Amino acid sequence: MELMKNGLAEPAVQRIAQGIAAVYPQFDREQFVDLALDGLETLELKQRVMHLIAVLQQTLPEDFTETAKILVALPEHWDRGDPDDSLRGFAIWPVTDFVAVAGIAYPQQAFKALAALSPLFSAEFAIRPFIEKYPEQSWEQLLAWTTSDDEHLRRLASEGCRPRLPWGAQLKELIADPAPILPILEVLKNDSSLYVRRSVANNLNDIAKDHPELVLDLCQVWQKGANADLQWLIKHATRSLVKQGHPKSFPLLGYTADPQLKLEEFAVLDQQVTMGDSLTFALALRAEEMQQKFVLDYAVHFMKANGKTASKVFKLKNLSLNKGEMFAIEKSHSFKAISTRKYYPGEHFVALHVNGQEIDRLAFTLKE
């Protein structure tokens, strides 16, 4: 797989220079390219973005009201790159984020520039400083974008205000109180575009990390009369809560609130497991009522260096059993060396979870 930083190499620099020169004849294209390429290859991805922003500041008009006009006109002249290049969209990233640096004192002009550039590369990073510095103006603009004909702007309305956006600065006020986000998500929850609905789900998943009950209550309201698209959104929005075993998340996804099951068998086949080998356990569950729909997972409680244990949940199966029906399985869990986990000898546990709740656990010993 090609390194992402290669999306901001010389070809991207040349595309930026070509596009700006087509809009702004006074642009010193040669100076821009020389400055942009100076030391570029030694930098990582985010460093390249910041480096190119600094070069744009040196080579575009100091008056952002003039620069904003150039940026608004840029998409009509933009070379979108090789369709087979998965990184071709990165070229516009420094230009988009440049707006948040050079245009921070000019929110209205900046919003127009971001609206023009966002279809080329989503501006969720660039809008965040404006949300922090100009909350009232920013929320008004984000809400306006929710009704745009352009799906990129509708997505930006949601993606830009995600409290815990990956790669983006956290919006700490929204982590503490996500209430300003909710009117935007309300408008977009039934959007015709999966691109937009996925952002709404991811925004709710962010919010759920700090306010699980708020997200669950909202999804319960949305679930009434929800079509298949909205049901998918709810499932995607609550995925972290399901993984954490939050009890209220399972009925939202159509699972039995309190499944009536009898654990007929749960056994570890070998009480001692050598590192590099596998733990094997067997289980059998029988339904005691009709139409018991549930998620069956298992958790391994790993010994840590400090002598305490930490658990990790692993998926087993989503099941639907009628009264008297049984599900039985023999499962192996490998303890082969992996780069993401260090194993320590000592007492471990394997536990069964139904709808996120532990129903039983067994001890075993991991030895070197």
pLDDT in tens, 277-324: 999 999 999 999 999 999 999 999 999 999 999 999 999 999 999 999
Same structural domain, 267 and 354: yes
Rounded-to-integer distance, Cα 118 and Cα 122, Å = 5
- Give pairs for 323-328: CB < 8 Å, separation 24+: 323/287, 323/288, 323/289, 323/290, 323/292, 324/286, 324/287, 325/286, 325/287, 326/264, 326/284, 326/285, 326/286, 326/287, 327/284, 327/285, 327/296, 328/264, 328/265, 328/282, 328/283, 328/284, 328/285
Kindly report the pTM of this predicted structure. 0.84
What whole-number distance in Å separates Cα of residue 75 and Cα of residue 64? 18
Helix, coil or strand: residue 150 = coil
Domain boundary among 254, 285, 317: 254
Res 244 pLDDT > 90: no
Residues 292, 344, single domain; the answer is yes
Q: Are residues 247 and 274 in the same domain?
A: no
Pair (272, 235) in one structural domain: no
Q: Cα(89)–Cα(93) distance, rounded to whole angstroms?
A: 7
Whether 105 shows a pLDDT value over 90: the answer reads: yes
Q: Which two tokens stand for residue 286?
A: 């029988």
**Beta partners for residue 330, in sequence order:** 282
Task: Report pLDDT for 1.
Answer: 63
Residue 105: domain span: 1-121
27/116 same-domain check: yes
Contact predicate 321/284, CB 8 Å:
no
Q: What is the mean pLDDT of the chain?
A: 96
342 and 235 co-located in one domain: no
Of 211, 231, 254, the one marking the end of a domain is: 254
Whether 268 and 354 map to the same domain: the answer is yes
Establish if 153 belongs to a structural domain.
yes
